């Protein structure tokens, strides 16, 4: 769930939520506990067992961070079987420890692209800032979900380099987003990747990371009717529901697709 939208100080060129660009997205401050509980219950009723709050911004601090801790506490009380995840940007050790203490089990923080290409996509923080946060999360005992976005102008070698960096970091959950160019961002005119390129990338990630969950994420609508093929190319997990500023598949449609392919749907603990 996008728990805080827009007005971000960072200049990630692909992002609709950056304050550096005029994209017309709906902006809102941190959601209330009631809104989070409502959305978590809706998702849970479809059998979804991981629930993440995702906030815009370089990181969360002060009252916002205290408030999100209170939301996680309440989610834990009201939905004790739900696995809680967080994606709150760059964080410090104390914040990681607090998240762990209120029951958050997974921290999501993408590498986004390769080390070489990162400076092309963002100038307000570095690839190493991202790696530091991943290591802080791991040190605090959180499992880390980290992947990236393809179709931002990177080369095939950049995608392979990112896959090897994720492997080096021991990441088991790897969301692969496909750039969905957003009007108003510097990447508005990027060509959407062809389905064949997306599927080949998924397959290469599967080969490099045989024991990880290669996870469909934002932009997979670019595959159109080829979405099913991704599960044969190596995808074995999916983020479901709507993505941060774009619309995703409906959850029952995803479940139907997976069942139709003859795969067994498992909730991973
Ligand atoms: S990706 Fe995150 S840090 Fe970058 S502009 Fe968007 S919200 Fe801000």
Q: What is the pLDDT of residue 237?
A: 87
CA–CA separation, 44 and 40 (whole Å) = 6
Helices (H), 169-238: 195-208, 227-233
Distance 150 CA to ligand 1 centre (A): 16
Quote the ligand 1 centre to 215 CA distance (angstroms): 20
Calpha distance 153→121 (Å, rounded) = 9
Sign of CA dihedral 211, 199, 215, 18: positive
Question: What's the 30 CA to ligand 1 centre distance in angstroms?
Answer: 15
DSSP labels, 15-44: -TTBTTS------B-PPPHHHHHHHHHHHH
Residue whose Cα lies nearest atom 7 of ligand 1: it is 56
Q: Rounded to the nearest whole angstrom, what is the distance from the C-alpha of residue 20 to the centroid of ligand 1? A: 10
Ligand 1 centroid, distance to 57 Cα (angstroms)? 6
Specify the ligand 1 atom closest to the Cα of 11: 5
Q: How far is the CA of 5 from the centre of ligand 1 (A)?
A: 10
Please calculate the CA angle 251-257-259 and round it to the nearest 5 degrees. 105
> What atom in ligand 1 is closest to the CA of residue 16?
6
- Global confidence as pTM: 0.89
Report the alpha-carbon distance of residue 237 to residue 216 in Å, rounded: 6
Closest ligand 1 atom to 58 CA:
3
Ligand 1-lining residues (CB < 6 angstroms) = 8, 10, 12, 15, 17-18, 56-58, 89
Q: Taking every pair of C-alpha atoms in the chain, what is the biggest distance, in angstroms?
A: 48
Give the pLDDT of the chain (269 residues) as one tens digit per residue.
Answer: 999 999 899 999 999 999 999 998 899 999 999 999 999 998 888 888 889 999 999 999 999 999 999 999 999 999 998 999 999 999 999 999 999 999 999 999 999 999 999 999 999 999 999 999 999 999 999 999 999 999 999 999 999 999 999 999 999 999 999 999 999 999 999 999 999 999 999 999 999 999 999 998 888 878 877 888 888 899 988 877 655 555 556 777 777 888 888 887 776 55
Q: In the prediction, which pLDDT does 197 show?
A: 94
The pLDDT value given to residue 191 = 93
Region of 25 please: left (phi>0), alpha (psi -120 to 50) or beta.
beta
Decide: residue 45, CB within 10 A, 0-12 exposed, 13-18 middle, 19+ buried.
exposed
């Amino acid at each position: 769930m996008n728990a805080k939208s827009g007005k971000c100080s960072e200049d990630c060129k692909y992002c609709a939520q950056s304050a550096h660009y005029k994209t017309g997205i709906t902006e809102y401050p941190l959601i209330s506990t009631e809104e989070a509980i409502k959305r978590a219950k809706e998702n849970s009723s479809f059998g979804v067992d991981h629930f993440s709050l995702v906030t815009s911004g370089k990181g969360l601090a002060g009252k916002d961070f205290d408030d999100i801790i209170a939301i996680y506490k309440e989610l834990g009380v009201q939905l004790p079987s739900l696995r809680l995840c967080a994606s709150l940007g760059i964080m410090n050790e104390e914040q990681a420890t607090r998240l762990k203490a209120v029951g958050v089990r997974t921290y999501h923080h993408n590498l986004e692209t390769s080390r070489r290409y990162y400076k092309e996509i963002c100038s307000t923080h570095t690839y190493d800032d991202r790696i530091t946060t991943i290591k802080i999360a791991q040190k605090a005992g959180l499992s880390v979900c980290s992947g990236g976005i393809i179709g931002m102008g990177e080369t095939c070698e950049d995608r392979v380099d990112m896959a090897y960096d994720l492997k080096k970091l021991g990441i088991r959950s790897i969301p692969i987003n496909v750039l969905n160019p957003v009007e108003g961002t510097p990447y508005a005119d990027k060509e959407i990747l062809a389905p064949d390129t997306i599927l080949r990338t998924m397959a290469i990630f599967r080969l490099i990371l045989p024991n990880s969950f290669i996870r469909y994420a934002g932009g997979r609508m670019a595959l159109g009717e080829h979405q099913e093929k991704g599960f044969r190319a190596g995808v074995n997990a999916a983020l479901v529901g709507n993505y941060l500023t774009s619309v995703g598949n409906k959850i029952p449609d995803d479940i139907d697709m997976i069942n139709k392919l003859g795969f067994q749907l498992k909730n991973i603990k």
